[in-house]
Amino acid sequence: MTTEQSMLSAADDFLIHQTVEVIRYVASSDRRFYDRHFWVGHANDGELMFLGGMGVYPNLGVIDGFFTFSLGDQAITVRGSRELTADRMNTRDVGPFSLTVEEGLKRFRIVCAETDGVSFDLAWTNSAPAFEEPQVFKREHGRVIEQMNRFVQTGRWQGHIVIDGRRFEVDPANWWGSRDRSWGVRSLGLEDEPSGIVEAHREASANTLFWIWAPMQFEHGALHYNVGEGPGEARFVEVVRWMRQGDERVIAVMSDPRHDLEYCPRTGRLAGGTLSYRDQAGERRTIRVQPLRATCMFAATGYAVPASGLGMIDDWRHGKYMGPSWRSVRRFDLSDPDTLARIGAAGIHMLCRLELDTGEVGYADIENTVRNHPRYPRGGAAPKG
């Protein structure tokens, strides 16, 4: 005798179905299907910065999350995971994390119960409307590599963070940030399937890449600056949008984004320079970039680590089944050259102070990856110690 488990949940009582299936079942059977939050927060003086996220992987039956803090010469990463269950709206008790969306596209709260000296209670309020990026679709040798949708938004944080007994008060006047929400199909970095034609023909280390993704926040609005370049500096992404402060959805389309950046010779990290674009009147506007603090995307946060020959930091990946409930903390000494080489050679998110040519000051988390680019031969290079 077998007992059939119902996959109905409270979400099925809302008028939100997209297929004939219950909400628990997604339209794609691809094991890589995901639905994720990603958050950035920072003190504008650069003392403390964090990256965080929470995602569900319906075809793997997992919900998990992470927060990584950059403080002094430390990276401190808290992770959590549990079984997904039928209720997709239940984002509580994901390891130490509990997420509550209080008003869609406007307010949410994320809490971390004390775990190895780290806890927090943080509330987000939007400072500008959400902007939907162009959809991504990428196919190689017949296989869908990426198919996803994403929106970005800027906002302010309020609450507190406790790290090893030190309490940080989070005031929205000087704690800004950004976030994105994405869903679809994307590599998780943990596939156990045999290599196929895509892997056989891919030479990732030889590819040319320039990538900058920067939701910028100013007192009077937000600017989303996103440029991707491949071989020959050909653009495959070019997004510059201005969003007015507040809830009013006014989006101005800018054009002709350009970059003239500087990189540290030793680490290859962003060291300064300018970004520019043409406004709606056709005038070129320039933004001077001043880096304040770096956060390492690969500090055991669950993202797949690029092949570097330096060994894996951690065997946890987004979507990996870790049992009914799991939590963990990893700590890294960023003053150690070997550690920095392993987690800080790529995937850096840089908190930057911005200054428009009008004199207005803003802040942004700038994600910047450079590989084999003719203009920036030292950009993105691994640290030498």
Rounded to whole angstroms, the Cα distance separating 45 from 51 reads 16
Architecture category of domain 30-187+204-371 in CATH: Beta Barrel (2.40)
**Ramachandran category for residue 127: left, alpha or beta (phi over 0 → left; psi -120 to 50 → alpha):** alpha
Q: Which residues pair with 226 in a beta bridge?
A: 213, 239
Q: Using one digit for the tens of pLDDT, what is the confidence trace for 248-297?
A: 667 789 999 999 999 988 888 899 999 999 999 999 999 999 999 999 99
**Hey, where are the domains in the chain?**
30-187+204-371
pLDDT score of 204: 47
Report the percentage of the chain scoring pLDDT > 70. 89
Question: Quick one: CA dihedral 18, 19, 22, 25, positive or negative?
Answer: negative
Lowest mean pLDDT among 30-34, 103-107, 328-332: 30-34
DSSP string, 145-214: EEEEEEEEEEEEEEEEEEETTEEEEE-TTTEEEEEEEEEEE---S---SPP-HHHHH--GGG--EEEEEE
pLDDT digits 0-9 by tens, 311-364: 567 889 999 999 999 999 999 999 998 888 888 767 789 999 999 999 999 999
pLDDT greater than 50 at residue 1? no
The pair phi, psi for residue 361, each rounded to 5°, is -105, 140
Asked whether 326 and 316 are in contact (CB, 8 A), the reply is no
Cβ(224)–Cβ(243) below 8 Å: yes
The answer on pLDDT for 202 being more than 80 is no
